[in-house]
Amino acid sequence: MTETDPQTIAEAAADAMFEKDNASRALGMAIEEVRPGYARLTMTVREDMVNGHAICHGGLIFTLADSAFAFGCNSYNKATVASGCEIAFVAPAKLGDRLTAECRERVLRGRSGVYDIDVTNQDGETIAFFRGKSRQIKGEIVPGLTAVG
Amino acid sequence: MTETDPQTIAEAAADAMFEKDNASRALGMAIEEVRPGYARLTMTVREDMVNGHAICHGGLIFTLADSAFAFGCNSYNKATVASGCEIAFVAPAKLGDRLTAECRERVLRGRSGVYDIDVTNQDGETIAFFRGKSRQIKGEIVPGLTAVG
Amino acid sequence: MTETDPQTIAEAAADAMFEKDNASRALGMAIEEVRPGYARLTMTVREDMVNGHAICHGGLIFTLADSAFAFGCNSYNKATVASGCEIAFVAPAKLGDRLTAECRERVLRGRSGVYDIDVTNQDGETIAFFRGKSRQIKGEIVPGLTAVG
Amino acid sequence: MTETDPQTIAEAAADAMFEKDNASRALGMAIEEVRPGYARLTMTVREDMVNGHAICHGGLIFTLADSAFAFGCNSYNKATVASGCEIAFVAPAKLGDRLTAECRERVLRGRSGVYDIDVTNQDGETIAFFRGKSRQIKGEIVPGLTAVG
């Protein structure tokens, strides 16, 4: 067992998850920042993500937000799953838009958490609000890594 | 303006939407059936949709359900958008699973609708429950096509 | 410990809960039927539940649905709490309307469940769709009562 | 038609709504503050709101949040209705607790808005997170009152 600080743990967990996460990588997502209870990811809207009006499929906006949620709620290196997610689409994302999904922890009480993920475009306009509920299960992302203290 | 029956309209609207829907096609979705207020789509979980444990990204399950929702609520040939969506993940989808998303209209009152989309796997097990709220806006999917009567 | 059949357990759990549930009784709710995974409650819209346009407060429609959800998901005599709820208001409920909330179990997998509660009025019109997610915790509603087999 | 400033309009709309809102008054709610896009309400958990374990019915916590949402999204004196609401219950509210629901506007784009309502107790602990989606319809709360400029 290796003891280390929370930030190192958050980054190690994110790296381990991202390496295995074919879907997020196939969609061109990148992790900009991860901290305990926090993650910020980006994704650029590609040709294969849009419809005939050059508007991004809502499901892929959800997927970006859901990935940010996963990285945020797993940042303590405790395996955590989504129990429910809700999204409100506010404005369309267009071909070429660079989207950012920022995941913030609202509460973590026992094993249950609530996280808000806001998706914005390169101009800072809100594209969608996502709210996720999480539940810690057994297991760790990176086995044997625990926080000091 | 061409007058025709509701089933022909539903199929014409679905065909027109699917042709432009790069995202649904890139994910290998297929439309199995569409009727007024109803749509059933399938998608097989591929290597580029899973994580290291061969579990499908929740966002792509959402995307399948969201596409079924879109085809279902646009089946009257009136342009309709999602105002909000909620999903509960019930069981994991695995690499190779053939998922079916079935969209049923619960209510359509004026311009606002509520649709339930259930996602199941090839064994009939429920993978996710999705609920979508829709709102008709101006415009048609296939211009000039209207129902008889 | 008393062994008995599932229907007797469902009714005993409902009776025990309802006796303690000041809020549901103060709002005039009545239990019409309860079965394993199912509950149907009624409530009449009173003067103290409406606004100046004689329209029922949405929160009280939610409260009726939430009570039906509670009776439905606790019908196995295992203490169960709501982890999240979502409601779509479809049509207004009016002063004097007799509302029915019918709770059906969609899935119960391990300790987690999903329930749909539909609220209708005396004419069978849908007033609201409620979806609840439940989680069993430790404890029983009626201590020592368990199902045969 | 009377022209006046946004704050006066928000207060006039809230006063007019509250006077007609039998349900919120019957539950002992009080408006602490209202501003354009914002409202803060309080409610104390009474004997007739709890169950046998002295825990407040979740539906009444929802009702408090829903009222704060209504006052917040109607603060422009344009008649506005809820299209959907979602709540996550985080901690129980107990008999005697003084609850505060604070409604903040996240976005208002055309006629559609998204509002977050956080419910806390007298110790500042979070009890519930509520998210509401709104839609402006025809009509005004206080007829003839419009904003300067």
Task: Please work out, in degrees rounded to the nearest 5, the angle formed at the alpha carbon of residue C102 by the alpha carbons of D71 and B87.
Answer: 65
pLDDT at D149 over 60: no
CB pairs under 8 A between B and D: 11
Alpha helix ranges (H) inside B22-125: 22-26, 58-73
Mean pLDDT estimate for chain B: 94
The pair of three-digit structure tokens given for residue A114, joined into one six-digit string: 């609530």
Q: Are C86 and B86 in contact (CB under 8 A)?
A: yes
CA-closest candidate to residue A39, choices A62, A61, A7: A7
Closest chain A residue to the Cα of D85, Cα to Cα: A86
> Which residue, among A81, A83, A106, A115, would best test binding to C if mutated, counting the most C CBs under 10 Å from its CB?
A83
Distance from CA of D7 to the nearest CA of C (A): 23
Q: Are D17 and D66 in contact (CB under 8 A)?
A: no
d(C-alpha A44, C-alpha A94), whole Å: 9
Distance from CA of A115 to the nearest CA of B (A): 15
Phi, psi of B44 (to 5 degrees): -100, 135
Neighbors of chain A with 3 or more C-beta pairs under 8 Å: B, C, D
- Whole-complex ipTM: 0.94
Question: Which of C60, C66, C88 is closest, CB to CB, to D58?
Answer: C66
Phi, psi of B63 (to 5 degrees): -60, -40
Distance from CA of A146 to the nearest CA of C (A): 27
d(C-alpha D40, C-alpha D56), whole Å: 20
Chain B residues touching D86 at Cβ < 8 A: 86
pLDDT attached to residue C34: 98
Chain A residues touching C111 at Cβ < 8 A: none
Mean local confidence (pLDDT), D50-65: 94
Interchain contact, B129 vs C131, CB within 8 Å: yes
d(C-alpha D81, C-alpha D84), whole Å: 9
pLDDT 10s digits, C83-117: 889 999 999 999 999 999 999 999 999 999 999 99
Q: Which helix (H) or strand (E) holds D126?
A: strand D126-140
Question: Which of B23, B62, B63 is closest, CB to CB, to A48?
Answer: B23
CA dihedral defined by D103, C133, C8, C122, rounded to 10 degrees?
Answer: 60
- Residue C2 burial class via C-beta count within 10 angstroms: exposed 0-12, middle 13-18, buried 19 and up: exposed
Distance from CA of C69 to the nearest CA of B (A): 16
Neighbors of chain C with 3 or more C-beta pairs under 8 Å: A, B, D
pLDDT 10s digits, B29-47: 999 999 999 999 999 999 9
pLDDT attached to residue D101: 98
Q: Which fold has domain D2-144?
A: Thiol Ester Dehydrase; Chain A (3.10.129)
Interchain contact, B22 vs A82, CB within 8 Å: no
d(C-alpha B86, C-alpha B102), whole Å: 15
Instruction: End-to-end CA distance of chain A: give it in Å, rounded.
Output: 13
pLDDT attached to residue C73: 97
What is the CATH number assigned to the segment(s) B2-141? Answer: 3.10.129.10
Mean local confidence (pLDDT), D12-29: 96
Other beta carbons within 10 angstroms of residue C130's beta carbon come to 24
Mean local confidence (pLDDT), D84-107: 96
Distance from CA of C56 to the nearest CA of B (A): 19
Prediction pTM value: 0.93
Assign 3-state DSSP to chain B and report helix, strand, coil percentages, each to 5: 25, 50, 25
pLDDT at B149 over 90: no
Mean local confidence (pLDDT), D49-74: 95
3-class DSSP state of D29: coil
pLDDT attached to residue C149: 52
Chain D residues touching B84 at Cβ < 8 A: 83-84, 133
Chain C residues touching A112 at Cβ < 8 A: 83
How large is the greatest C-alpha to C-alpha distance in chain D, in angstroms? Answer: 55
Interchain contact, A83 vs C83, CB within 8 Å: yes
> Which residue, among B83, B86, B107, would best test binding to D if mutated, counting the most D CBs under 10 Å from its CB?
B83
Task: Annotate C19-70 with DSSP letters as a single string.
Answer: HH-HHHHHTT-EEEEEETTEEEEEEE--GGGB-TTSBB-HHHHHHHHHHHHH
Task: Give, for all 149 residues of chain A, the pLDDT tens digit.
Answer: 677 899 999 999 999 999 999 999 999 999 999 999 999 999 999 999 998 789 999 999 999 999 999 999 999 999 999 888 999 999 999 999 999 999 999 999 999 999 999 999 999 999 999 999 999 999 999 988 877 75
Other beta carbons within 10 angstroms of residue B114's beta carbon come to 21
d(C-alpha A49, C-alpha A58), whole Å: 9
d(C-alpha A39, C-alpha D118), whole Å: 22
Interchain contact, A52 vs B83, CB within 8 Å: no
Distances in Å between the Cα of D127 and the Cα atoms of B68, B110, D90, D92 are: 35, 36, 5, 6
The CATH architecture of the domain made up of C2-142 is Roll (3.10)
- Chain B window 79-118: which residues touch C at a Cβ cutoff of 8 Å? 86, 88, 90-91, 106-107, 109, 112, 114, 116
- Going by the DSSP 8-state scheme, the letter that residue A50 receives in this structure is B
> Which residue, among C106, C111, C134, would best test binding to B if mutated, counting the most B CBs under 10 Å from its CB?
C106
d(C-alpha C37, C-alpha C106), whole Å: 9
CA-closest candidate to residue D6, choices D32, D41, D33, D34: D34
Domain ranges in chain C are 2-142
Using 50, 70 and 90 to split pLDDT, how confident is the model at C1? low
Closest chain B residue to the Cα of D134, Cα to Cα: B83
